[in-house]
Amino acid sequence: MASITRDIFKAYDIRGIVGKTLTDDAAYFIGRAIAAKAAEKGIARIALGRDGRLSGPELMEHIQRGLTDSGISVLNVGMVTTPMLYFAAVNECGGSGVMITGSHNPPDYNGFKMMLGGDTLAGEAIQELLAIVEKDGFVAADKQGSVTEKDISGAYHDHIVGHVKLKRPINIAIDAGNGVGGAFAGKLYKGLGNEVTELFCEVDGNFPNHHPDPSKPENLQDLIAALKNGDAEIGLAFDGDADRLGVVTKDGNIIYPDRQLMLFAQDVLNRNPGAKVIFDVKSTRLLAPWIKEHGGEAIMEKTGHSFIKSAMKKTGALVAGEMSGHVFFKERWFGFDDGLYAGARLLEILSASDNPSEVLDNLPQSISTPELNISLPEGSNGHQVIEELAAKAEFEGATEIITIDGLRVEFPDGFGLMRASNTTPILVLRFEADTQAAIERIQNRFKAVIESNPHLIWPL
């Protein structure tokens, strides 16, 4: 039986500490397991790419050998963003691909994001890979799979520049956080006609300047300073593998993804009246009314890119987004999340205005908290903890209780959310309201519920 660390098999991907929980042998056996799953679906060719992490080339060599030893032909696209790997998978390999990426994790982490036949592997499908490894359920190959190397950056660039058209050039600043997006973003945005100031666009897997996670305000401070001190009108930031987008205005205001989605939804609905728009359970309560007001159908979904992607397929939604910064366009694109492409679409919309920051600042806004986290006791199941809390909770004055992903409680003047993270052993809380007093009132309702469990510590 192949030996492998079980807890690297996460909800949305496989991820671990290189050399400790994620070894070269593990990469090889994961390659064999993916090949076995591919064989079940009649898939013979898989695209393979990696981000800019230092461990990428070595892991690539071993997972590639696992695939080819099982008879899979590999299209090796080298160092790319995760969305560029998806682009190669969709256009060259029937929607099958493996991306070697640690996303926004610390430098010593790496992992694999996988899609087969157009479906992202998540949840049960990832556990099935673990079962294949543990049972040695690999396929014997009639012949070794071939490896073809291809640079797809030109085709990706041309595809975007070919259909995204700006009404005027915009002066922008971009911060790639030394992630792999830095190798491609500047050229793309210049190709669209913009003037670009590049921050930390040299790919460096040590991430020497700041962590490549634009969902955290501390990682946007360099970009905010560049906007305040320079001529750029707008700032774009990307995470380590460039599938998420952060946006900052000239005055240093962060436009969070649920407000970005207002603009994207309005733009798509202008061309496609009645279209469906999907957003995750963490999003602002101002988003659904905005979508309806602009002629769309608003659909709330579980948090997690694999859930959003499958909901898009099921409903035929043309655009979707989640609070972590993933934006998915089906209209004029392929339905996968792409930070660089979302940035291009944003610039296209903003180019109709002489003052992009004003357009963004004028989007509806409530008072809200950042995400608050509560650590769970060792070995506890977050989803079960939420169920137990919800069973005895009372929320006086609530207008709606939503349970698609944790517990979201709507009040006339705000909402509170508590849900279990799918990636780490924590509960995630978020609050939004019309006034500070309302936020505090809603938080106190949730505090009473949380404190009914003696093992949980209120985070404020």
Does 284 appear as a known binding residue? no
How many angstroms separate the CA atoms of 344 and 360, rounded? Answer: 15
Phi, psi values for residue 282, rounded to 5°: -80, -10
Does 153 appear as a known binding residue? no
Does 69 appear as a known binding residue? no
Does 213 appear as a known binding residue? no
Does 305 appear as a known binding residue? no
Distances (CA, A) of 130 to 5, 103, 306: 9, 21, 18
For the chain, give percent helix, strand, coil, nearest 5: 35, 25, 40
Does 322 appear as a known binding residue? yes
Written as six digits, the tokens of 170 are 């915009």
DSSP assignment of 191-246: HTT-EEEEES-S--TT--SS-S-TTSGGGGHHHHHHHHHSS-SEEEEE-TTS-SEE
Count Cα atoms within 13 angstroms, Cβ side, for 374. 26
What is the three-class DSSP state of 185? helix
Residue 408: which residues within 8 A CB-CB, separation 6 or more?
A: 281, 401, 402, 415, 416, 417, 419
Is the CB of residue 416 less than 8 Å from the CB of residue 443? yes
Does 62 appear as a known binding residue? no
How many angstroms separate the CA atoms of 88 and 83, rounded? Answer: 9
How many angstroms separate the CA atoms of 189 and 343, rounded? Answer: 9
Q: Which of 189, 212, 322 is nearest to 259 (CA)?
A: 322
Distances (CA, A) of 334 to 158, 184, 358: 15, 19, 30
Q: Report how far Cα 355 is from the mean position of its chain's Cα atoms.
A: 28
Catalytic residue set: 103
Exposure of 315 by Cβ count < 10 A (0-12 exposed, 13-18 middle, 19+ buried)? middle
Does 244 appear as a known binding residue? yes
Is the CB of residue 347 less than 8 Å from the CB of residue 338? no
Does 421 appear as a known binding residue? no
DSSP 186: H
Binding residues for Mg(2+), as ranges, are 103, 239, 241, 243
Binding residues, as ranges, are 103-104, 113, 239, 241, 243-244, 303, 322-324
Binding residues for substrate, as ranges, are 103-104, 113, 243-244, 303, 322-324
